[in-house]
Structure 1
Amino acid sequence: MGRRIDYYDDPNAPKANSLIPSVNVVVENDKGEILMIRRTDNDNWALPGGAIDLGESVTQAAIRETKEETGIDVEITGIVGIYSDPRHVIHYTSNNEVRQEFSVVLAARFISGSPTRSAESREVQWMVPRDTSSLQMDSSMHLRIKHYLEAHEAPIVI
């Protein structure tokens, strides 16, 4: 399996050669915990998410990706923001794709299911949001969680 390497504002980062719309989902349960995965491709903690497939909406992709990576069914409740900073690129070593960041981050509520690992997630856990600040994760994930917790009146657009 290839690896995922995130670069931010790094002059030594490879140049982007693709732009693929994706989603991340901040799922909250009735205890105020958020759903986190530990990725298999870089061992970092992250919000569930992935690429939007042709023929599906942003909402459909968010629901599908969350279920695939975590075993959890969700209902989308809002938008946190749109993250498209060209200084953030993601290198997938399996095919040498280098994506410019483009992620729609949605908020969701837990409906059903139990945290279940997948090929993309070595761990799946409900976490108290303040505990996520010490986890190994890309700075873009820390920022997305921070923006969610700040509950801005309008979506963030970067």
Structure 2
Amino acid sequence: MKQFPTHIVAVDGIVENEKNEILLVKHRDKEIWTIPGGQVEIGENLTDALIREIKEESGIDVTVNKLVCISSNTGTYEGYNGYGIVPTKVMLGFTCSFIGGELSVSDETSDSRWVSKERVLDYITNPNLIERFKAYLKFDGNIQYIEYITKPSYDLKLKIKI
């Protein structure tokens, strides 16, 4: 029997406030700073998933504005927590505007804060996230597409504007 291809679909949002600061969250499991986001659940649309993930991870309410980056982790690797193989992942990166809420933490995050746009790259260390943040900084209306693998080590395979 044939099987449909399987991809994890995820979203993240670069949230900017009225002071041009960017929202960052620190994930508990890896203790790394990142842009809030996560996997789209069954039956959920992309923008609703992003609004939910940002609220869950940081306590912040947002509006979703523009799609700026699509990235694909085309590598697969051994799973964890009882899962088998981790399939390829497609991540859609959006810009968002802060509309309310109070910074907080969650089961997934140990810290959340506003960081000046110029200092974001002092916090984030994940190579793919760095590439996606640079796509946001250079956004000119054209969407950046990034292909990469993370295992055994990070390898940027492709970076083009579409």
Structure 2-normalised TM-score?
0.79
Please point out which of 75, 90, 95 is paired with 1:102: 90
Structure 1 residue runs of 4+, over 6 Å off? Answer: none
Give the Cα separation in 1 of the matches to 2:118 and 2:9.
28
Runs of at least 5 residues in structure 2 that lack an aligned partner in the other structure: 1-5, 147-162
Partner of 1:70: 58
Identity %: 31
Higher RCO, 1 vs 2 (CA within 8 Å, ≥6 residues apart): 1
Partner of 2:40: 52
Runs of at least 5 residues in structure 1 that lack an aligned partner in the other structure: 1-17
Give the Cα separation in 2 of the matches to 1:91 and 1:136.
25
> Aligned runs of 1:90-129 on 2, under 5 Å?
93-96=80-83, 97-129=85-117
**TM-fit CA distance, 1:66:** 0.4
Q: Which moved further from structure 2: 127-136 or 140-149?
A: 127-136
Aligned length: 141
**TM-fit CA distance, 1:90:** 7.3
Task: Give the aligned CA root-mean-square deviation in angstroms.
Answer: 1.9
Partner of 1:28: 16
Task: Give the letter aligned to residue 42 of structure 2.
Answer: L
**TM-fit CA distance, 1:50:** 0.5
Structure 1-normalised TM-score?
0.81
Structure with more strand by fraction: 2
User: Higher Cα Rg: structure 1 or 2?
Assistant: 2
**Secondary structure at 2:51's aligned position in 1?**
helix
